[in-house]
Amino acid sequence: KAGVTQTPRYLIKTRGQQVTLSCSPISGHRSVSWYQQTPGQGLQFLFEYFSETQRNKGNFPGRFSGRQFSNSRSEMNVSTLELGDSALYLCASRGLRGQANTEAFFGQGTRLTVV
């Protein structure tokens, strides 16, 4: 079974630009979450999508947005990039059996550098 795939692995953008990151979850998984990892703040939750609906959102400005498609693939977008947005962005997928909460499987991440 293929794991969680994130593209691209590395990205360099200029301040003020926007960026879109992609995540393909494990086949059959319908829940996708996004996390930002920085040395200063650690791992912080951005949002979670399930069946194309945002179920939960972390404490990030509106410049951070996401969506999920009918095939469960997800994208996150950051507009008007700031230097502080430089981070490793991790995507995680989960399979939900009824209401059972299963573990999250993480992708390798996208390393975003804003210059």
Partner 1 sequence: AQSVTQLDSQVPVFEEAPVELRCNYSSSVSVYLFWYVQYPNQGLQLLLKYLSGSTLVKGINGFEAEFNKSQTSFHLRKPSVHISDTAEYFCAVSDPPDRGSTLGRLYFGRGTQLTVWP
Residues that bind partner 1 (CB under 8 A): 4, 6, 31, 33, 35, 42-43, 45, 48, 50, 55-56, 58, 90, 92, 94, 99-101, 103-109, 111
Closer residue to partner 1, CB minimum distance, 76 or 104: 104
List, edge to edge, every strand of the sheet that includes 19-24. Answer: 5-7, 19-24, 74-78, 64-68
In the complex, the smallest distance separating the C-beta of residue 26 from partner 1, rounded to whole angstroms, is 13
Instruction: Count Cβ atoms within 10 A of the Cβ of residue 108 and give its class: 0-12 exposed, 13-18 middle, 19 or more buried.
Output: middle
Cross-strand partners of 111: 10, 88
Closer residue to partner 1, CB minimum distance, 80 or 96: 96
In the complex, the smallest distance separating the C-beta of residue 68 from partner 1, rounded to whole angstroms, is 13
In the complex, the smallest distance separating the C-beta of residue 107 from partner 1, rounded to whole angstroms, is 5
Query: What's the farthest any 2 CA atoms get from each other in the chain?
Result: 44
* Token duo for residue 53: 């609906």
